[in-house]
Structure 1
């Protein structure tokens, strides 16, 4: 058992404060998400974020168990210590995996405009059982040791985690996985940003603003994750390299652990900032649809002709480009009536001009149905303009 010294007590209190704040932040955001009465609750990204928050919640609960050590002033190996070590390892590793899945999903949506519908289900049946397994294997490994050492013990004098006598399992069950996820996320986001940068050169001014806004929001995911995880992981890796688990002393370990336990708070803030990003359509899928505005060309039109007994009703739809990623349509309706062999063209918008047109022959004719601003007179029937 390890005594909680005066310095470690202050460090324990710091860790308890950050873990408690993180837990409250995760809990509040979690309630906000599940209380939404709209379709966003059922989106893939929202479900991925909920799993990430659940991981952070488990991690924070694990660190909050150190209230017991702060009260007792000592860390005692036993069931309570085992539970804390199990929860901390489960939450840490699961958080890294879910951050990686969100990274992959974001890459597929932004770059390829593709959303795999079963990614949440497959991730849940893979990540959670795997993390529970490796965290619970410690109890089986503990039973197989000859020295009777417990798998979970004091780590830094402020919480319980994998004991220093099981250094290889610290790498295999925790630090190796976390560093792999952090490195993979960095590579994926680097590739994504390069692709987005290249596509900006072919996009319009409006789409460039959208892509730049996406870049600024997405960059926080890998940056915050690496910043929070790297200090503590670096201390552990260096300690393993020099065969000294207490390298850089507690003066570095406690602040690094405090930063690490604020992952829940950081993820809650990131989600609050980027909640609009995860609910919009893929940006890249919209970029090809953005058309450059051409001032010299007339806007495209579409005309529909409906025959109602002795009248033709035609509707002309004009589509114009306004702001990027927005389309405005205007519809102009006209009524075309015909008397005997001739047809009178009338505009509903009180235009000052009128036309008399001749419809096609019942048998066959290549003459146009409507001829604007031209009067046709039949040798037998003459009709004056309206």
Structure 2
């Protein structure tokens, strides 16, 4: 519809344009007339949302391919770890969020935003998706914290299912009850806000409880958890093995985990990415609260830039999945297929991975590069294993202290003879050959 048909550079009629202006009697108009520049801003928002939607659909297609590949090799499970469940739920909610934003294509075409069934659908989609994505991000953050510092729940899929179910139930009830209770046609629950449809400004409590609180809580918890986790992985933070709340700054050798730098990047990628997505739109909305109280509004350019960045949430989560946790959702090595590592080590020597040690068939690699389920869970198992070694060393020291001096001498003598007899054929696993004395 050409803009020449409307007034003041819009597609609205004179009556529609007059109704779009907030007044004392009508502070929350049910229609917004878009200028040409605002239409362009909406086009950028739709494109960013479509990129997120397309990227998640591509990942879903690859997951289906992974399922078909794994079916040929017997027992398999899409949700091997709790993180698989959280990530799948996050991607699913990314689809709902992106679909709500893509619906703005209608407003860009019409040149105006107005209440109605289409507007209500968009608002409910956005409320459900944005709150759900934030809550799932928070759940992943807390799961990481509990797994690393408490070393609990690393493989508790039931707890993950309960958490995801609670998130979906909360979002469903909040959206459904909000739309059902506020059904007054004179004060609709979903209205133009102003460039797309969402919860009306007259319901500020529902805005806070239904989305803003979750966005800011997820953002705050990301920094609260991932920064100490980064310091711990680098050796600058020591956590008490029993009392997790007791910690102190120290300087020690960082965790000697194969691919440690990749794990460090994986840890920092989440809070940095989420802050880049959420901070701009949060700042703009906080400023908007103050301006709305004075009857003013934020420049549309700032609004469209911040919301277009936020619309890349789905694309960002997909990139984080494939770059920092590439073995979730069956994206790892296929069982029964020989990896490069296995072909170069046919003797089946000790890889240090601890595979099959009470892990329900899940291979967690510490020194094996090609089979690593999750970099953060890797660190949990390495830390637990290190504590076990430390406890064993302490036990040996205590036993030696309790031994008489004559027994200690005999033990040292036998140990020396054993090492001397085995030294010509000592095997060095890292070099893959035997060395002499």
Q: TM-score normalized by structure 2? A: 0.63
Q: Does 1:261 align with 2:286?
A: no
Aligned to 1:142: 182
Aligned to 2:102: 64
Q: Does 1:21 align with 2:59?
A: no
Change in Cα spacing, 1:287 to 1:201, as seen in structure 2 (3 Å) is farther
Change in Cα spacing, 1:205 to 1:155, as seen in structure 2 (3 Å) is closer
Q: Is the 8 A contact 1:22 1:60 kept in 2?
A: yes
Change in Cα spacing, 1:82 to 1:95, as seen in structure 2 (3 Å) is same
Aligned to 1:229: 278
User: After the TM superposition, which segments of 4 or more aligned residues of structure 1 sit over 6 Å from their partners?
Assistant: 297-301, 327-330
Q: Does 1:7 align with 2:37?
A: yes
Change in Cα spacing, 1:185 to 1:40, as seen in structure 2 (3 Å) is farther
Give the superposition deviation at 1:141.
3.7
Q: Is the 8 A contact 1:155 1:161 kept in 2?
A: yes
Q: Does 1:283 align with 2:332?
A: no
Task: Report the aligned-residue RMSD.
Answer: 3.3
Q: Does 1:93 align with 2:145?
A: no
- Unpaired runs of 5+ in structure 2? 1-30, 71-75, 239-249, 329-372, 391-414, 420-424
TM-superposition CA deviations, 1:334-383 (whole Å, max 9, x none): xxxxxxxxxxxxxxxxxxxxxxxxxxxxxxxxxxxxxxxxxxxxxxxxxx
Q: Does 1:178 align with 2:218?
A: no
TM-superposition CA deviations, 1:4-33 (whole Å, max 9, x none): 221111011001100011100011112212
Give the superposition deviation at 1:89.
0.9
Counterpart of 2:263 (choices 192, 196, 214) is: 214
SS in 2 for 1:118: helix
Equivalent positions of 1:269-348 (< 5 A) are 269-276=319-326, 279-280=373-374, 282-287=378-383, 289=385, 322-323=429-430
Aligned partners of 1:228 and 1:72: how far apart in 2? 28
SS in 2 for 1:42: coil
Give the superposition deviation at 1:245.
7.7
- Unpaired runs of 5+ in structure 1? 302-317, 331-386
Give the superposition deviation at 1:241.
3.4
Q: Is the 8 A contact 2:230 2:267 kept in 1?
A: no
Equivalent positions of 1:24-173 (< 5 A) are 24-36=54-66, 37-38=69-70, 39=76, 41-43=78-80, 44-114=82-152, 115=154, 116-143=156-183, 148-157=186-195, 159-173=196-210
TM-superposition CA deviations, 1:25-52 (whole Å, max 9, x none): 0111122124314446222222211110
Aligned to 1:346: none
Give the superposition deviation at 1:79.
1.1
Aligned partners of 2:123 and 2:110: how far apart in 1? 18
Aligned to 1:381: none
Change in Cα spacing, 1:288 to 1:262, as seen in structure 2 (3 Å) is closer
Aligned partners of 2:133 and 2:254: how far apart in 1? 38
Q: More strand per residue: 1 or 2?
A: 1
Aligned to 2:358: none
Change in Cα spacing, 1:288 to 1:180, as seen in structure 2 (3 Å) is closer
SS in 2 for 1:61: helix
* Structure number, greater radius of gyration: 1
Give the superposition deviation at 1:112.
4.2
SS in 2 for 1:75: strand
Give the superposition deviation at 1:66.
1.3
Q: TM-score normalized by structure 1? A: 0.70
SS in 1 for 2:192: strand
Aligned partners of 1:47 and 1:299: how far apart in 2? 54
Total equivalences in the alignment? 306
Give the superposition deviation at 1:270.
0.8
Q: Is the 8 A contact 2:122 2:198 kept in 1?
A: yes
Give the superposition deviation at 1:173.
1.6
Q: Is the 8 A contact 2:45 2:101 kept in 1?
A: yes
